[in-house]
Structure 1
Amino acid sequence: MCKKLLVLIVLLLTATVQGQQNRLSPEAEISVLTVGPGTALNDAFGHSAFRIKDPIKGIDLVFNYGVYDFQTPHFYLKFAQGKLNYLIGLDYYEDFYESYVSQNRTIKAQVLNLSPSEKQGLFAYLLHNYKPENRAYLYEFFFDNCATRIRDVVEETTQNDITFNPPDGFKAKTFRQLIHDHVSLNSWGAVGIDVALGSVIDRKASPYEHMFLPENIYRFFNTATMASNPDKPLVKQPRVLFEKLEVTPSHNFFTSPLFVFGLIGLLILFITYKDFKNTRRTPWIDVVLFSLTGVIGVFILLLWFATDHTGTHQNYNVLWAFALNLLVIPQLIKTKPAKWFQKYLKFLIILWCLLTLHWIIGVQVFAVALIPLFVAIACRYVFLVDFYARMETRDNSESGTQP
């Protein structure tokens, strides 16, 4: 391992300091590697990389963007704020290949149809990018990630002489639909994504923007041609290097969000029904609901206004996760709340109506697995309006009978 590391360091030094001595030979090939999805959420969208192979010079390296360093000071805070710098990584092809084979992830390669000068330019670009002062960049999931960097580097080193033609069967989708293609709707990952990301990802992505996903880099590169010569394809030779072994996925419905939120929704509806039937109110359930929706609302607002993430803007989940719910919790503890609290409850019901309208007309798509919880909370709000209205009528009636 130390010997490999030493060879790699020597290669980088000679490539950057004595570039002429490390020019690629005419036999060199540059490929785009596309790695299929993995089992974890952060692997669900696949990965992209460049392979530089030169059998004459003994070079077989993989450059890939989107690498991060857990040792970065304040790593999680910077990640949450959208201010975490990602890096370009460098591996021996053998190590890269074995790593993803061990994860049982498909690896596909596309040999690029580049001229010798374009190959040399792309290799020099990557080596320059790998210098310590150039390695870091501000990652953005939709517009500057491991896949878009592949597209951008190829465009730059070919002087934008590429026409990306829509692949067969292409159908324009929203960014959220493209995410859902890789993450099951009834998964905790999908719930987190649909709560955290706003309506900005519910617009249709252009064909060019579809390439934020590695699989779409593969599809669009396969049909791309050179603008200066439409008969010349960008990809000379696509092939599968490793096909993942089919494994029956293990899904436990009883731990899925739809089942969990279904149980919670039924519990809320049951308590609400009992309260309605007995003309009473169970305070603790209301305190829990207002606390939960309030905290989530604060979290959404922070993602919207206090971070650099572009996908978290205009998030209408705040219509159900309303941050001001935290401030009205004292009213839920009182036997007789302030009169304005009834108006506040009616306002919450109006927000639920707006949420439904936003969903129907397509302004924003919300987490499907949360539907049982949505229905239960809405019913609880309606019950509270009715309960306090009846209580007020009773109090007025009692006060009117006094001499």
Structure 2
Amino acid sequence: MTRHVLFILIFVLTTSRMKYRILLFALLFLVGKNGLSQIPTLSDKSQISLLTCAAGDELYYAFGHSAFRVQDSALGIDVVYNYGTFDFNRPNFYLNFVKGKMIYSLSRRSFNRFLFDYEMEKRWVKEQILDLTLPEKNKLLAFFENNYLPENRDYLYDPLLNNCSSITGNILLEQFGDAIVFNDSHLENRFTFRQLVRQNLEINSWASFGIDVAFGSVVDRKATLQEHMFLPYYAMNQLKNTTKSGKPLVERERTVLDYNEHTKNGFFPLSPLFWFTLLLLFTLIVTYLDYKHKARSKWLDFSLFLITGLIGTFLLLLWVAADHTSTPKNFNMLWAFPLNLIVAFIFVFQSQPPKWFFKYLQIALALLGILVLLWIFKVQIFSPVLIPLLLTLAVRYGYILKFSKP
């Protein structure tokens, strides 16, 4: 069949007659549809492995990466199936990200091309070759190829429950069922989702602070054994402690790229703790001067009410109007109170505040106290970087209450 196709191809390319060129296009279409789309049958020399890649410097690389590799030296196959692909150019990319409707895709590329990025960034890559029978390898390859079809490759991304790493455990269970057993002997402690995320970020960084503020109390529950696998490092360690039909799932391990772990050294003057402490000191000085001169700095009050109101409104929308699984029941709104956005304009520009405003300030101070209690009883864990900001609000609320009281 191949010799006939080659003969026709040479014949068509050496003639200028239109009808033969039409025949060429039809032939290529049939070959592409019926030949190239067929999934190859792997040989005894094939291997399927899990690649784990080190964390990088950018936020979307901060947790590492996982992908599957399929190789067969007899067939010349060496490709990586990567469930962590996203497209910045997709319509409404940032809006969908905020709404919790982020679409990720399965991509397929050669192993060398996949590895090139990690070589450039000097990030280590480790490989765990899975102990699978030949029928199991072919079954897994067929699954990947079916997933790679245009109508199947996209999926709804969830940073904690459905990402490129957590999908590893889901695929193994889906393909091999009860034969897969995840053991927990390697885990000394079970962590909450918030604790797991913090393990990969510097606590005094804007990224960590922003994530802590956006997360609701729902992430302060302990993750299950399999849920720990949303982090690639935990997925790699879990595979070491996973059996299939009573035998270790990982046949052997090797290091593909050997680089040191990237260290993150933050610059304190650019950190949130530095700026919030500076804000607290500035607020204390302004409040003291206001007290001494029996005045009130309206611009400072307006700024605090406006900014906390805007943050609170955003958090409320993440809770009730978005599809994120990690943002509901967020008690950060006790300090970032959404109604502050309205109060900023009603109160600040009036010479005499309305009577209800004093009750409002008392409620605002009480909410700060409730937040501390929720923190103590671990209903929700808040960022320690938040402490100077909470003190800033308490100082200013208390002063305004005293100054504006009839």
Shared fold, TM over 0.5: yes
Write the distance in 2 (CA, Å) between the matches of 1:16 and 1:360.
62
- CA offsets 1:226-257 (integer angstroms, 9 cap, x no match): 2x3x2x10100012211224666443111111
1:363 corresponds, among 379, 382, 387, to: 379
Aligned to 2:23: none
Report the equivalent of 1:290.
305
Q: Which residue of 1 aligns with 2:391?
A: 375
In the alignment, does 2:257 pair up with 1:254? no
Cα-to-partner distance string for 1:106-137 (whole Å, 9 max, x where unaligned): 11110001111111000000000001111111
> AA paired with 1:132?
P
In structure 2, relative to structure 1, the CA distance for the partners of 1:245 and 1:215 (3 Å cut) is: closer
In the other structure, the counterpart of 1:241 is 256
Contact 2:128/2:253 (<8 A) preserved: yes
Shift of 1:169: 4.5
3-state DSSP of counterpart to 2:141: helix
> Which of 345, 348, 355 is the aligned partner of 2:361?
345
Contact 1:199 1:363 in 2 (8 A): yes
TM-score between the two structures when normalised by the length of structure 2: 0.89
Tell me, yes or no, if structure 1 residue 18 matches structure 2 residue 34.
Answer: no
After the TM superposition, which residues 114-153 of structure 1 pair with which residues of structure 2 at under 5 Å, given as runs? 114-153=132-171
| Contiguous gaps of at least 5 residues in structure 1 | 1-9, 393-403
Tell me the amino acid that sits aligned with residue 316 of structure 1. Answer: F
8 Å Cα contact 2:204/2:273 also seen in 1: yes
Q: 1:351 to 1:12 in 2, by over 3 A?
A: farther
* Larger deviation, residues 189-198 vs 67-76: 67-76
Pairwise CA distance, 1:98: 1.6
Residues 61-72 of structure 1 mapped to structure 2, 5 A cutoff: 61-72=79-90
2:12 counterpart residue number: none
- Could you tell me which residue of structure 1 aligns to residue 129 of structure 2? 111
Please say if residues 16 and 127 of structure 1, whose CA atoms lie closer than 8 Å, have aligned partners that are also in contact.
no
Between stretches 30-39 and 162-171, larger displacement belongs to 162-171
Within 5 Å, which residues of 2 pair with 1:87-106?
87-106=105-124
Structure 2 equivalent of residue 194 of structure 1? 212
CA distance in 2, matches of 1:223, 1:13: 42
Aligned position for 1:4: none
Aligned residue identity for 1:142? L
1:302 corresponds to: 317
Report the more deviating stretch, 252-261 or 182-191: 252-261
Deviation, 1:334, is 1.5
User: For 1:334, which of 327, 350, 368 is the aligned residue?
Assistant: 350
| 2:333 is aligned with 1:318 | yes
8 Å contact from structure 1 (residues 66, 139) kept in 2? no
Using the TM superposition, give the Cα deviation of residue 278 of structure 1 relative to its aligned residue in structure 2, in angstroms.
2.6
Q: Percent identity?
A: 43
CA contact (8 A) 1:222 1:238 kept: no
Question: How many residue pairs end up in the alignment?
Answer: 377
Report if the CA contact (8 A) 1:65-1:146 is conserved: yes
Structure 2: tracts of 5 or more residues without a match: 1-29
